[in-house]
Amino acid sequence: MATKAYRDAHKAENVAGSRAWRLANPERRKANRKAEYWADPVAARAATRAWALANPERAKQGKRSWASSHPENVRASSRKHRLKTKEKQRIQTRTWRAAHPDLVHIQKNRRRARLAGAVGSYSVQEWLALLESFGGKCGYCGSEVGIHPEHRQPLSRGGSNDIANIIPACRPCNSWKNVKTEAEFRAVMASCKTT
């Protein structure tokens, strides 16, 4: 009882002394913690989990600190996780792409534009607003099937990836247009209608 009373009365001194000992003896502290862990690993993991739940910010900071000082371990762990969940990720990606064809096309356009060194970009909201302004139809023929973003001035001919250079197009019009500008393509369409 006297020991508890003494500890309570000298708590600040004890905490400071413990901290000083830990800083002065890092190897012994590490060995002690390892021995405590292996004495009862299940309880040690439960205590660590409980502490992390009670101190989420400090736990995140500790994880970040560990990850930045152990990049090889992080890469190995990530690689192992990717290999372990490869098929599951492939299925999730395939499912998402099937459910979001417009977004997939926007991603492809962004990549093509980046590789071509084109300036500008557009958001999904801008694309949806543009599509709505065209009534959900192809800007060339009026078709409502398979509409996706198409560059008025092709990226290969110096066009930008800005929303001002995008027009909704169906797959046949996009393929037929190929690398023509919008004006050139409309001239071709007009000549085909007259013949």
Give tens-digit pLDDT for 38-56.
999 999 999 999 999 999 9
104 contacts 97 by C-beta, under 8 angstroms: yes
Query: In angstroms, rounded to a whole number, what is the distance separating the alpha carbons of residues 163 and 90?
Result: 31
Rounded to the nearest 5 degrees, what angle is found at the Cα of 162, between the Cα atoms of 173 and 101?
A: 50
Residue type, 66: W
Taking the complete model, does pTM exceed 0.85, yes or no? no
Q: Is 74 helix (H, G, I), strand (E, B) or coil?
A: helix
User: What single DSSP character describes residue 120?
Assistant: -
User: What single DSSP character describes residue 153?
Assistant: S
Query: In angstroms, rounded to a whole number, what is the distance separating the alpha carbons of residues 195 and 185?
Result: 16
For domain 101-194, the question of CATH label 3.40.50.170 is answered with no
User: What single DSSP character describes residue 161?
Assistant: -
pLDDT per residue as tens digits for the range 152-193: 999 888 888 899 999 999 999 989 998 999 999 999 888 887
- The residue extents of the domains of the chain are 65-99, 101-194
Helix (H) or strand (E) holding 94: helix 86-99
- Tokens encoding 17: 């002394």
Q: Is 121 helix (H, G, I), strand (E, B) or coil?
A: coil
Query: In angstroms, rounded to a whole number, what is the distance separating the alpha carbons of residues 117 and 108?
Result: 14
